């Protein structure tokens, strides 16, 4: 049995996830009470145009451990993660995508490794999304190896656990789009933080649409990648 963490901040980014948010959060509540003495779940609505925010507010009214953060407009995946990192108050911080494609109970695997690491990142045992997303992931691995000198099995896996003191060494983050995960890992490498990896299950998206493969997101990621490279080499962070 995995030892309980003394405290844990959990956050989920949501964008137009009205059909997923309640199931995702209610499952996380059950798990959180088993793995942490004190915990919070932060629901980040990134400018949804559906009922995601109203559902989040209703859930927060039912449970004092639930917190709502929202953006007035859709700013991007990285912006949602940034808000989660900034709001999280406890010694351990985990984020998990809000689309229901991960089993949050598998956080027990991360907890087993976090005492000997600064960051534990997931890698999908079998990625269950469209072939174009697979192609993008492989391209990202090559890109990040060339520009930032690291090679992880699944860079953009939306399931990562951090020690808060490790986050303090690499924050603040600047990327507001998909390159946020590259920024996290590149800054962690620069600070010589210990990163461990753990296998997680991946499930098909049942509701809603993925945005990571559209051209606008890809163009933004390329711009942010060059900005990150310049900042790491010539900036102050």
**pTM of the predicted model, to two decimals?**
0.91
**Residue 111 structural domain:** 5-234
Radius of gyration of the chain (CA): 17
pLDDT (0 to 100) of residue 213: 55
Q: How many domains does the chain have?
A: 1
- Establish whether the linkage from the previous residue to 45 is cis, with ω within 30° of 0: no
Phi, psi of 175 (to 5 degrees): -65, 130
CA 75, 79, 81, 85 torsion: positive or negative? negative
What average pLDDT is seen over the chain?
Answer: 91
**Triad 107, 112, 113: Cα angle to 5°:** 100
Q: Which residue has the higher pLDDT, 139 or 4?
A: 4
**Domain CATH code at residue 85:** 3.90.550.10
pLDDT (0 to 100) of residue 198: 98
């Amino acid at each position: 049995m995995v030892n309980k963490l003394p405290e844990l901040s959990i956050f989920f980014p949501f964008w137009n996830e009205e059909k997923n948010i309640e199931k995702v959060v209610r499952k996380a509540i059950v798990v959180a009470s088993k793995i942490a003495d004190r915990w919070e779940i932060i629901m980040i609505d990134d400018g949804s145009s559906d009922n995601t925010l109203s559902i989040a507010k209703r859930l927060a009214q039912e449970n004092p451990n639930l917190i709502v953060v929202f953006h007035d407009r859709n700013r991007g995946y990285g912006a949602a993660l940034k808000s989660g990192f900034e709001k999280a108050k406890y010694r351990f911080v985990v984020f998990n995508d809000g689309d229901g494609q991960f089993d949050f109970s598998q956080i027990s695997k991360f907890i087993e490794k976090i005492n000997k690491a600064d960051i534990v990142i997931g890698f999908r045992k079998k990625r269950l999304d469209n072939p174009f997303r697979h192609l993008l992931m492989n391209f990202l691995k090559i890109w990040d190896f060339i520009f930032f000198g690291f090679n992880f099995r699944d860079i953009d896996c939306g399931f990562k656990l951090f020690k808060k003191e490790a986050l303090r060494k690499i924050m603040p983050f600047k990327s507001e789009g998909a390159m946020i995960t590259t920024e996290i890992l590149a800054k962690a490498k620069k600070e010589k933080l210990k990163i461990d990896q753990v296998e997680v299950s991946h499930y098909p998206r049942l509701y809603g649409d993925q945005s990571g493969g559209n051209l606008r997101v890809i163009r933004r990621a390329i711009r942010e990648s060059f900005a990150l490279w310049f900042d790491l080499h010539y900036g102050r962070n």
